[in-house]
Chains A and B, each alone.
Chain A
Amino acid sequence: MINKHQILLIPSLLLFSLASLLISLTSGSVDISAMQMIGELFTANESLSNQILWDIRIPRSASAFITGALLAMSGVIMQVLLRNPLADPYILGISGGAAVGALSAILLGLGGLWLTNAAFAGALFSILLVFGIANKFGKWSVTRLLLTGVVVSAGWGAVINILLTTTSTNNVQSMLFWLMGDLSQSQVGNAHFLLLTAALLGGLFVSRSLNVLVRGELVASALGINVPSLRLLLYFSASILTATAVTVAGSVGFVGLVIPHALRLLGARDHRLLIPGSLLLGGSFLLLADTIARTVIAPQQLPVGVVTAVIGVPAFILILRRSMKD
């Protein structure tokens, strides 16, 4: 059920996303005004500001927006799948697997494409490992999946600590940046845009089913949902979204947990709103956080994961307080 007041949420979030993009593109060590930026966008020239815009800021903003959007949508799905408000994209150990892959690549002195491939491979391995263990006897319950995920996640944590404590000091900083989530090395391409679009369309397609599934397994079955197949679909799609986000930006915390909750508290409990809403709010939130991360102590950069936590915690408490007053 969507009422008129709730429908306004999507256009508002769209405006908010555009504003975030404007702020992100005009902020940085070289001042580019909004008017100048719009001019540069529609003309091709070799000026410094044109190069900064096209070669640095636009790719980075795209990375930030897409990562945030993927994480927030994955968070929405995980929270329905596990029927647990504390679920986030990383709860089933995907980021742990990716981290072990990425850290191993750093340890071996590999960078660039090797690092992202290693991270993605680690994430995929973890997805299959958790599913394989949880699915051992042909049936898997949500509790079993959650427990397996948490245990596997803890296992990855141990491996990460071994890697961190046994490597040289040089490597430790890049490892820590990766672990906290960092967009300075990130690159996204057409594949990422396609995945995001597919996730949005697919999410909208199952949004009514998600509304029913949150009411519980029995209710959903009685109302005509094939619960096992829907869960399978949700597990693998949320996992792929998370794996992709983690591969782009490392384990940026907080977005996937807090954005869905913030939207629910703002009144978007229906997944027909929650899916597109989380894409827009998750994307713009990470975009703004990254803008702060790269400007606040410029020329030095903070890992964006630090900023998401610093902004996210008080923002969330504020929303929580407001919703309690109503």
Chain B
Amino acid sequence: MALLELKSLSLQIAGKQLCNRLDLSIERNECWGLLGKNGVGKTTLLHTILGLQPAQEGEILIDGQNTSLLNRQELARTMGILFQQGIDELPATVMETVMLGRYPHLQTLIRDNPADREIAEEALDAFELGALSNREITTLSGGERQRLALATLLTQAPDLFLLDEPSNHLDVAFQIKLLKILTDKISSASASFLMASHDINLTARFCDKILLLIDGNNYLAGDSEEILNEENLSRAYDCPIKSISQDGIQLFYPQ
């Protein structure tokens, strides 16, 4: 059974058609890249999958269950999202923030479960934030804040990671590291991710499947090697895109 299934999903925002009859099936252990130009509906699609926004038409199934029949807590246990705008500058420490990720799983009323804290600490260590756990988030840099948001999502440990531009604010080394952490997590937990990104090359390198939104009515979905080529990308971005191969990695660049 597919982890996520979108059946003939149509989205509209302020009267503008974003997706029309989109069908998509994401299995476990798959890394999906979500590409498309600005305003084509990548963020709206991610928010709709999580039920933060209503779909105009169509069905969303997670593990075969229609998401409209699940409550918010059940949804939060199976799907987690990294928001594009990151986390608020509220007075809180790094540890307080990362522990929020355990909220959908919490069983205890008042006391923190030591097991939850361990999961949170592991996630902080994975993103090299362990030493900052008592720092105020207002004192963090943009990159540290993005890593904190990612660590919080890792702490939530959903089956499906919805990522809205996760490489924002990250230096190249951390971009690679982030994708390695995520792909490791995917294979160890039989999870999957759907990552919206503007970085075609990072997506091409780490995603084996691609959903390329072209415009309100057209999209392409399938294996990376089939979707990612000069013709499709040029059409999607309205801009001539060329590719070169170097050291076994295919790189795309605008002309």
> Is the beta-carbon distance between B91 and A224 smaller than 8 angstroms?
no
How far apart are the CA atoms of A144 and B89 in the complex, in Å? 23
> Is the beta-carbon distance between B52 and A223 smaller than 8 angstroms?
no
> Is the beta-carbon distance between A212 and B100 smaller than 8 angstroms?
yes
Residues of B within 8 A of A221 (CB): 50-52, 72
A 267-279 binary contact with B (CB < 8 Å = 1; else 0): 0011010000000
> Is the beta-carbon distance between A223 and B106 smaller than 8 angstroms?
no
Q: Is B112 an interface residue (CB 8 A)?
A: yes
> Is the beta-carbon distance between B87 and A219 smaller than 8 angstroms?
yes
- What's the dominant secondary structure at chain A's contact region? helix
| Chain B nearest Cβ from A76, distance in angstroms | 15
Query: Which listed segment binds B: A86-94, A124-132, A203-211, A252-260?
Result: A203-211
A208-B103, A224-B103 known; A1 vs B96 contact (CB < 8 Å) = yes
Interface size on B, residues (CB 8 A): 31
> Is the beta-carbon distance between B76 and A222 smaller than 8 angstroms?
yes
> Is the beta-carbon distance between B83 and A218 smaller than 8 angstroms?
yes
How far apart are the CA atoms of A26 and B100 in the complex, in Å? 46
With beta carbons under 8 angstroms apart, the residue of B80, B91, B96 that contacts A222 is B80
A219-B83, A224-B77 known; A212 vs B112 contact (CB < 8 Å) = no
Contacts across chains A and B counted by CB atoms under 8 Å: 67
| Chain B nearest Cβ from A229, distance in angstroms | 9
Residues of B within 8 A of A270 (CB): 96
A interface bracket (residues with beta carbon within 8 Å of B): 20 to 34
With beta carbons under 8 angstroms apart, the residue of B52, B88, B95, B110 that contacts A215 is B88
Q: Is A23 an interface residue (CB 8 A)?
A: no
Residues of A within 8 A of B74 (CB): 224
How far apart are the CA atoms of A207 and B100 in the complex, in Å? 12
B 108-119 binary contact with A (CB < 8 Å = 1; else 0): 011010000000
Residues of A within 8 A of B99 (CB): 1
A residues with a Cβ closer than 8 A to B are: 1-2, 204-205, 207-209, 211-212, 214-216, 218-219, 221-227, 264, 269-270, 272
* Contacts A1-B112, A2-B112, A221-B50 supplied; 15 other A-B pairs, CB < 8 Å: A205-B109, A207-B110, A211-B96, A211-B100, A215-B87, A215-B90, A223-B103, A223-B104, A224-B74, A224-B76, A225-B73, A264-B91, A269-B91, A269-B96, A272-B110
What are 28 A-to-B residue pairs whose CB atoms are below 8 Å?
A1-B93, A1-B112, A205-B109, A208-B103, A211-B96, A211-B100, A215-B87, A215-B88, A215-B90, A218-B52, A218-B83, A219-B88, A219-B100, A221-B52, A222-B50, A222-B81, A222-B83, A223-B104, A224-B72, A224-B75, A224-B76, A224-B103, A225-B73, A226-B73, A227-B72, A264-B91, A269-B92, A270-B96
Centre residue among A208, A219, A224, A227 by max chain B CB count within 10 A? A224
